[in-house]
Amino acid sequence: MEKNGNRLVTKGISQKFTQGKEEIIVLNNIDSIFMQEKNYAITGISGSGKSTFIHILAGLDKPCAGNVFFNNIAINELPANKLSLFLNKSIGLVFQSPHLIRELSVIENIILPGMIAGKDKNDCEKRAHELLQKVGLFDKKDQKPGELSGGQQQRVAIARALFNEPAFLIADEPTGNLDLATGTTIIDLLLSCHQEWGMGLIISSHDAYVAERMDEIYVLSEGKLHRERL
């Protein structure tokens, strides 16, 4: 895979859910292009479909219509084994909660994507040390996630998401559980990773202070995705 210039593209993405007897259309025929060189915010009121869109974009859920392309590959059509391999290498994911494995140490959590990809353990540890320095948690490497603050745990989750040098880092409300100061350090960290390693950022957020830091802001409303800033 090329290191740079990758594209994530949605073509005609729709998603609907049935709630009781009602059918709600959450995403209505959305076309969009995300370039690795840029940073994007996905905003919109609660219930507008941000998580639904992010999950489809990241290959975690399948849309009821349309395709998500990574360059020329329709990822929603990949068989499960190929999809996991692709996701592990090409897309890093961060959620509102860190979802770390409690029984494993910080460094063991971070090297998981490398171990899954079959990489050499020493190489994995070297990469983990680099990431631990980057997220400012080298001194916590042998602790368990439960011994870290929420913001520190989110930094571990980011280091894990970056482990395989993905083309895109996709985050659903990564600062949602954090205070303003801690949230700002997380966004600073993500932007500096973009600068240093070149992964495209696609971040959903309620928070104006997050959206303002991105190159482009998109708003989800009534099933459509609108560009807010040129």
Ligand X SMILES: Nc1ncnc2c1ncn2[C@@H]1O[C@H](COP(=O)(O)OP(=O)(O)OP(=O)(O)O)[C@@H](O)[C@H]1O
Asked if 175 and 187 touch (Cβ cutoff 8 Å), the reply is yes
Using rule CB under 6 A, residue 26 touches ligand X: yes
CA distance 99 to 94: 9
Using rule CB under 6 A, residue 134 touches ligand X: no
Q: How many residues of this chain bind ligand X (CB under 6 A)?
A: 13
- Dihedral sign, Cα of residue 134, residue 135, residue 140, residue 141: negative
CA distance 110 to 156: 7
DSSP letter at 217? E
CB of 103 to ligand X, least distance (A): 29
Using rule CB under 6 A, residue 36 touches ligand X: no
Q: How many residues of this chain bind Mg ion (CB under 5 A)?
A: 2
**Hey, what are 217's tokens?**
């802001």
What SS3 class is residue 207? coil
Using rule CB under 6 A, residue 17 touches ligand X: yes
Using rule CB under 6 A, residue 51 touches ligand X: yes
Binding test (CB under 6 A) with ligand X, winner from 6, 48, 152, 164? 48
Using rule CB under 6 A, residue 72 touches ligand X: no
Binding test (CB under 5 A) with Mg ion, winner from 51, 109, 164, 205? 51
Our CB check for ligand X shows the closer of 19 and 195 to be 19
CB of 223 to ligand X, least distance (A): 10
Using rule CB under 5 A, residue 15 touches Mg ion: no
Query: Sheet of 39-43: strands edge to edge?
Result: 91-94, 168-172, 200-204, 39-43, 216-221, 224-227
**Hey, what are 18's tokens?**
């049935």
Using rule CB under 6 A, residue 52 touches ligand X: yes
Q: Are strands 22-35 and 168-172 parallel, antiparallel or unpaired?
A: unpaired
Using rule CB under 6 A, residue 205 touches ligand X: no
Using rule CB under 6 A, residue 46 touches ligand X: yes
Q: 209 touches which of ligand X, Mg ion, none (CB within 5 to 8 A by kind)?
A: none
**Dihedral angle at the C-alpha atoms of 178, 150, 49, 51, nearest 10 degrees?**
150
Our CB check for Mg ion shows the closer of 50 and 213 to be 50
Residues interacting with ligand X, by CB under 6 A? Answer: 17, 19, 24, 26, 44, 46-52, 206
